[in-house]
Amino acid sequence: MARVRVLEKYCKSCGLCISVCPKDALQIVETRLNAQGVHPAGTVMEAECTGCGQCFTVCPDAAIEILPEEEIKKLVKEKA
C-alpha cells in the first residue's frame, strides 16, 4: 500500500491536505519550522494513511509525494 510523504521545505502550511484527508492522518507539525519559517504539515498517523492521494491532488505547492510500498521498504532498510 502507498503512503504519503510531505516535502516540508515546500510546505506553506495552508492546511488543504489536512482538510481533505479522510483518515485524519495529516496535521500541522507544531514542533518544527521549515525553511519558509512555517510549521509544515506532516503525517502523524502513518498507520491510518491509505495512500488515497487526495492530499497530493489538492496541494498547490507539490509538497506531497505518494510513495509506493516498495519505496517505503527501501527507505526503512536505509534507516536501519
Beta strand pairing call for 3-6 and 26-28: unpaired
- What is the mean pLDDT, run by run of 10 residues, along the chain of 80 residues? 86 96 93 93 84 93 87 71
pTM of the model: 0.80
What are the DSSP E strand ranges found in 7-76? 26-28, 41-43, 64-67
Domains of the chain with CATH codes:
3-79 (3.30.70.20)
CA atoms within 13 A on the CB side of 72: 14
* pLDDT (0 to 100) of residue 80: 66
Structural contact between residues 22 and 52, judged by C-beta atoms closer than 8 angstroms? yes
CA–CA separation, 15 and 11 (whole Å): 9
CA–CA separation, 64 and 4 (whole Å): 7
